[in-house]
Structure 1
């Protein structure tokens, strides 16, 4: 479902990725781990089409994204990829429902359809009673679940998460991790998660170890 072939990326004289080959199947939950500066986030950004590699191919759901122009790439990203970041990145002036609806509105859905889909996602997260609350009125765990709902509202092929539980306390962290596996079981959702959390990594279907810009080994 996600195929990376020969991915390289440099920033100035620093080569961050040094020939990454990786295939992720539909419905897999894969963790990417490694020390700071190993290239994990850069790899995730390239996988998510937020950055382009210097060389290599990125194929997502049968589309070679390297060949898309910026307008087509933006539309593809909106439809096929959901993102969850460490610090939720919700818009503070909007309610939970409005935040979740944004990707659907960008896709061209009517306001009514976008709100309906957003509420369905909030119900899936158990947050329907928080729909009218703004981020400042939500707990840290609730904010991150709203961010997951936003990532899922367009039913993307893959959700890419960068340290999604890094800012949460132990209880909320464990609840978020359980949520990922529940969503995979209920929706067949694919997740790729960059994490320093060894507990989460140990539970995923596969753990990809990156050291010095290369995949060192995989643990099944």
Structure 2
């Protein structure tokens, strides 16, 4: 599903990733753990196509994403990858349903179809009473569920999550990981999660530990 070969990343003279090989299977939930500065977020950004490696190759569903042009990559990302971030990245002027719909509209899905899919996903995630609420009217856990629904709207093969529980209390952290597990069972998506949360990582299928730009 997701494979990185010989990944290196440097920023000037600072080498953050020092030759990483990683392979993640379809429908696997993998947690990437490590201290600040270990390189885990940089690895996630490269695996998810948000950044390019200084050296190495990245494949998603057998597509060499590091070789795609800008327009091809944007289209591939929209159709195959979902993102969940620590601070939700919801647009404050839009409702929950409108935030959820955005990737579908960008992908060319007709508005009525996108609205229907957004309503179905948000209802599946227990937010059927919050469709018309804006982010400022939602709790932290509700915002994160909207972000998850947005990540799912185009039926991506893989979801990348960067510290998704970092801004949540312990109850919502547990509920979020249980949600990921349930979604994997329902939709067979792959989840790659960067986290500091050992408890969250324990619920994943596999934990990858990083230190000083290497996988331990």
**Equivalent residue number for residue 100 of structure 1:** 100
Work out whether 1:47 is the aligned partner of 2:47.
Answer: yes
CA contact (8 A) 2:173 2:200 kept: no
Matched position secondary structure for 1:147:
helix
Aligned pairs for 1:158-173 (under 5 A) are 158-173=158-173
- Structure 1 CA distance for aligned equivalents of residues 201 and 173 of structure 2: 13
Matched position secondary structure for 1:50:
coil
**Equivalent residue number for residue 75 of structure 1:** 75
Shift of 1:74: 0.6
- Structure 2 CA distance for aligned equivalents of residues 52 and 119 of structure 1: 35
Q: Deviation per CA, 1:57-86, whole angstroms, max 9, x where unpaired?
A: 100011001110001001101111100000
Matched position secondary structure for 2:129:
helix
- Structure 2 CA distance for aligned equivalents of residues 162 and 135 of structure 1: 19
Contiguous gaps of at least 5 residues in structure 2 = none
- Structure 2 CA distance for aligned equivalents of residues 99 and 179 of structure 1: 19
Matched position secondary structure for 1:130:
coil
For normalisation by structure 2, the TM-score amounts to 0.99
- Structure 2 CA distance for aligned equivalents of residues 75 and 117 of structure 1: 20
Aligned pairs for 1:82-97 (under 5 A) are 82-97=82-97
Matched position secondary structure for 1:112:
helix
Matched position secondary structure for 2:209:
strand
CA contact (8 A) 2:28 2:205 kept: yes
Matched position secondary structure for 2:79:
helix
Shift of 1:29: 0.2
- Structure 2 CA distance for aligned equivalents of residues 121 and 40 of structure 1: 29
Contiguous gaps of at least 5 residues in structure 1 = none
**Runs of at least 4 residues off by over 2 Å:** none
**Equivalent residue number for residue 151 of structure 1:** 151
